[in-house]
């Protein structure tokens, strides 16, 4: 049973414990309790008996509160208990956001379980960073992020692709293995006309730029950011650090728009049928030599319709970026 299912079971149970947290142990993580506060908000309690304090102060962000070690009374299996806990409280009652919250918490608990007590402060810092990003402006569109997630999910090796993925949407390329760069371009008009910056198509010696082009069309019967994320977590379930990166990039990309963004759905079949890869050297561009020295940040649109897609028929380096692409 996942955390969200366990929470929903507790939240719908009937009890006379309105003044306490109603909690149950998390089966895979005996040091944690999942539950609901008197207001119906989701809570996670981390049992903490050690002297080390992984967080030095309380945090209050848009969606979460994180309180350092305190003594709490809880109702567990009908009994009132007390204990020293770190509290994580999620302040939204929206079911979709709660599911996203629990998805982050599952990764957080896995990290805690694998990290020595003296080093666990980094796990809390990583979780706080993800939720802090949800206070910021969106750095990209949900359409663009959906396209990147689709390419990862479509690849031969999602584990390698997430490791090649940018840590911030502000980076020049979406994926980078050092020598090869991959930029994902999506269109909602079924036309392969995409926007580029001059830097994205400027080749350096020994560099290869690959362009992924696909149609990302909104469809109520399609798949959302949330559903793609859950599918991807299954594929990389043995790498919690990559799941953490996945959740971090999503948070940084969508920022404060996450409430409306994570549930928007796009047609998986159309994306699958339309996905093509192109050599960046073939894409029409404005050469750097033609840009005046005092002009910068040049952007333009280029039509890829009549270009011949790349066929990855001869792969010589199994560790390279293009070796992971179908």
Query: 3-state DSSP call for residue 113?
Result: helix
Could you tell me the pTM of the whole model? Answer: 0.87
Residue 162: the pLDDT is 96
For the chain, domain boundaries: 3-133, 142-324
- What's the distance, Cα to Cα, between the start and end of the chain in Å? 33
The alpha-helical segments, DSSP class H, found in the chain are: 3-11, 95-114, 121-133, 142-154, 158-164, 225-235, 240-254, 258-261, 268-274
- Percent pLDDT > 70 in the chain is 94
Averaged pLDDT score across all residues of the chain: 88
Looking at mean pLDDT, say which of 10-14, 90-94, 279-283, 295-299 comes out highest. 279-283
Residue 18: the pLDDT is 57
Q: Give the closest residue to 77 by CA, choosing from 139, 15, 134.
A: 15
Q: Kindly report, residue by residue over 132-148, the tens digit of the pLDDT.
A: 998 888 888 899 999 99
Q: What is the dihedral of CA 224, 229, 230, 236, to 10 degrees?
A: 160
Q: Kindly report, residue by residue over 91-139, the tens digit of the pLDDT.
A: 888 888 888 889 899 989 999 898 888 888 899 899 999 999 988 888 8
Do the beta carbons of residue 44 and residue 94 sit within 8 Å? no
Q: Kindly report, residue by residue over 161-183, the tens digit of the pLDDT.
A: 999 999 988 999 999 998 899 99
Q: Give the closest residue to 32 by CA, choosing from 20, 16, 21, 18.
A: 21
């Amino acid at each position: 049973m996942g955390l969200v299912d366990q929470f929903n079971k507790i939240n719908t149970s009937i009890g006379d414990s309105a003044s306490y947290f109603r909690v149950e142990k998390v089966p895979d993580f005996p040091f944690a309790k999942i539950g609901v506060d008197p207001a119906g908000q989701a809570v996670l309690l981390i049992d903490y008996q050690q002297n080390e304090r992984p967080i030095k102060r309380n945090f209050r962000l848009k969606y979460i509160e994180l309180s350092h070690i305190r003594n709490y009374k809880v109702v567990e299996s009908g009994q009132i208990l007390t204990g020293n806990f770190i509290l994580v409280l999620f302040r939204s009652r929206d079911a979709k956001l709660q599911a996203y919250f629990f998805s982050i918490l599952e990764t957080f608990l896995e990290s805690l379980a694998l990290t020595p007590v003296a080093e666990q402060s980094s796990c809390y810092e990583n979780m706080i960073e993800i939720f802090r990003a949800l206070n910021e402006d969106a750095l990209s569109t949900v359409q663009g992020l959906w396209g990147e997630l689709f390419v990862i999910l479509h690849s031969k090796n999602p584990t390698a692709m997430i490791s090649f993925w940018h840590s911030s949407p502000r980076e020049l390329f979406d994926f980078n293995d050092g020598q090869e760069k991959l930029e994902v371009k999506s269109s909602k008009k079924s036309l392969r006309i995409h926007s580029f910056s001059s830097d994205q198509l400027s080749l350096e010696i020994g560099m290869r730029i690959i362009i992924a082009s696909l149609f990302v069309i909104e469809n109520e019967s399609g798949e959302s950011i949330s559903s793609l994320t859950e599918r991807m977590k299954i594929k990389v379930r043995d790498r919690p650090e990559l799941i953490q990166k996945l959740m971090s990039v999503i948070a940084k990309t969508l920022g404060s728009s996450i409430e409306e963004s994570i549930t928007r759905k796009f047609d998986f079949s159309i994306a699958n049928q339309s996905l093509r890869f192109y050599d960046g050297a073939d894409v029409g561009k404005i050469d750097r030599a033609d840009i005046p020295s005092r002009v910068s940040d040049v952007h333009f649109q280029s039509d890829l319709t009549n270009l011949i897609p790349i066929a990855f028929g001869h792969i010589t380096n199994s560790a390279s970026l293009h070796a992971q692409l179908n």
